Structure 1
Amino acid sequence: MWQALFSLTNAVALAAWLVLIAAPRRPLALSFVLYLGVGLLCLAYVAMAAALLAGWADPVRDAGLPAMNLSDYSVAGLKDAFRSEGAIVVGWTHYLALDLFTGLWIARDADAKGFTRAVQALVLLLTFLAGPAGLFLWLFVRERRARGPGGWTRKGKTPAG
């Protein structure tokens, strides 16, 4: 079950990332990414987390391990919690949803600020592969543009957004 959910959430995320990076930025495409990408991943996350926490789904823990102790919020406690297929899939879905949402924000922000799609593709690809690294790169690039000659007023752009 967990492998199937892992594969499904990855397929949803990959489809949304392909649309975000390669498709024209029309309202329908952006709605697809937001609702059928981010929204569906968030729904899957909530459903899977609820099923695990309520005991409705077998977390498929490593053999011989006791039940998860969710009250142990420490590195050791988190290490123990993630020694199950269910927790790994829930955690991975968390990453997929938030990284995709971050990518959507970057794309919209970059469009509004007049960045080329080639620059966006590089930042979005890094965000897809290593979320915080891509977000950091975007924050760095957009700040450099804002501080450069003309700031956001270049090409008729304003600091909004």
Structure 2
Amino acid sequence: MDPQLLFDLTFPLAAPFWALMILAPGWSVTRRIIGSPLIVVPPMLVYAALVIPQFATVFAAVASPELPGVAALLGTPLGAAAGWAHFIAFDLFVGRFIHLDSRERGIHPLVTAPVLVLTILLAPLGLLAHLLLRAVLPRRRSQQADLAATPSR
């Protein structure tokens, strides 16, 4: 398939999930959708569509990684598009973790939203920011835990 087309398709496949986590974190639909790790499948399929037809080339570059070989691969349209799909898939997986962990710890969505935006742009820094927040903010019970602990009448 055309690397440019797949490159262009990758982020739009992930964007709705980011929008749910950032703009509607408490919505029951968000909880249901983001609760599934399968949200990362669309960008993973793009990655597979790029890598599988060129498996030998990609595998050679990553099996014994050396900077010149990885740079050469990433300097091609195929390599750049595959790298982008890889980033988008794993960034979304990390964002999902941050969202779910924040909800479980009772971290306010207005605190989590900028961390998720940072994760979209620079995922390792977003994850670092979340881990720092976890370390300094007191753990509060989530709203879900509060509801579960409330006796029904």
TM-score scaled by structure 1? 0.75
**Helix, strand or coil for the counterpart of 1:110?**
helix
Deviates most, 42-51 or 122-131 = 42-51
Cα deviation for residue 28 of structure 1 reads 3.6
Is the aligned partner of 1:135 residue 2:130? no
Q: Residue type of the partner of 1:41?
A: P
TM-score by length of 2: 0.78
Report 1 or 2 for greater relative contact order, CA contacts < 8 Å, sequence distance ≥ 6. 2
Question: Counterpart of 2:30?
Answer: 29
In percent, how many aligned pairs have the same letter? 29
Does the 8 Å CA contact 1:69/1:81 hold for their aligned counterparts? no
Q: Which runs of 5+ in 2 are unaligned?
A: 146-153
Partner residue, 2:151: none
Number of residue equivalences = 141
| Corresponding residue number in structure 1 for 2:13 | 12
Residue identity opposite 1:15 in structure 2: P
Q: Which residue of 2 aligns with 1:109?
A: 101
Q: Deviations over 1:102-150 (max 9, x none)?
A: 01110110011111110010111111110000000000010112xxxxx
Find out whether 1:95 has 2:87 as its counterpart: yes
* 1:12 and 1:37 in contact (8 A); partners too: no
Give the Cα–Cα distance (whole angstroms) in 2 for the partners of residues 47 and 75 of structure 1: 24
Compare the two structures and name the one with the higher helix fraction.
Answer: 2
